[in-house]
Amino acid sequence: LRPAWLDRAWQRVLEEVLDGRQVFIVCPRISGSEDDIPSGLPDPSVTELYAYLEDGPLAGLRLGQLHGRLPSSEKDSVMTAFADGQLDVLVATTVIEVGVDVPNASMMIIMDADHFGISQLHQLRGRVGRGAHSGVCLLVTYTDGTSPADERLAAVAATRDGFELAEVDLEQRREGDVLGAAQAGGRTTLRLLRVLDDAELLAESRAIAEQLVAGDPHKTNDWMADMVTETELRANADFLERS
């Protein structure tokens, strides 16, 4: 959803509330956007957007805000009020990503959606449409439509299949050090293979390697011992380089 459609998005929020349902609006930060915001558009942070909506497009609705800087008692109070139907719209950070079940919430707007990863977007939109009514999730971005982030948004918009999205996420972020101990993505240690393209071959190779290691637990086989040592040294060298 491009900024030009924001007015329609706020109108859709009003329609949902008039039908007796509730809406989440998710922001990537609590206050003060670090990005350049196009003229005439709201700051996509919780405190700024809450004030903008309360006095503007959603004036008259029962709005609440929720983020990590609030005292625990206040956070619990706001979330309880929303769950009990005492609030129409909740403007929040990703604190609502897990542990929140509001069956009456039928709509979510995610501001600056390009700041979120694929798995997080998929997790967030799962918060709506959990009751008798179908859900709708709008992804708002101020980007120009040509960045890698836009590819993520297009992927999320195209499917609700978590496995398919996981493959897209892996394709974009890469598999990282498959042969070592590092957990982060980035540079791969595979020379001739790709995890997505050669998953079956890699799984078969791993099974064979485990059998070989199990058959020689004391590394008496010189060739195998050298291979294991080389892999460990490479992993340690990469760790020191990143440090």
pLDDT at 221 over 80: no
What are the residue boundaries of the structural domains of the chain, listed by start? 3-172, 175-243
Give the number of other Cβ atoms within 10 Å of residue 128's Cβ. Answer: 24
Q: DSSP assignment of 178-207, as one string?
A: TTSS--S-SS---SS--TTTSHHHHHHHHH
Tokens 């760790």 sit on residue: 239
- pLDDT for res 176: 58
Residue 40 Rama label (left phi>0; alpha psi -120 to 50; beta): left
pLDDT at 231 over 80: no
> Model confidence over 4-24: pLDDT tens digits?
789 999 999 999 999 999 999
Distance, in Å, from the CA atom of 56 to the CA atom of 59, rounded to the nearest integer, reads: 5
pLDDT (average), residues 16-35: 89
Among the ranges 85-89, 94-98, 144-148, which has the highest mean pLDDT value?
85-89
pTM of the predicted protein model: 0.71
> Model confidence over 123-163: pLDDT tens digits?
888 889 888 888 999 999 887 777 777 878 887 777 777 66
CATH topology (fold) of 3-172:
Rossmann fold (3.40.50)
Distance, in Å, from the CA atom of 30 to the CA atom of 122, rounded to the nearest integer, reads: 21
- pLDDT for res 191: 62
Q: What angle do CA 167, 168, 173 make, to 5 degrees?
A: 100
138 neighbors 1 (Cβ within 8 angstroms): yes
> Model confidence over 52-68: pLDDT tens digits?
999 999 999 999 999 98
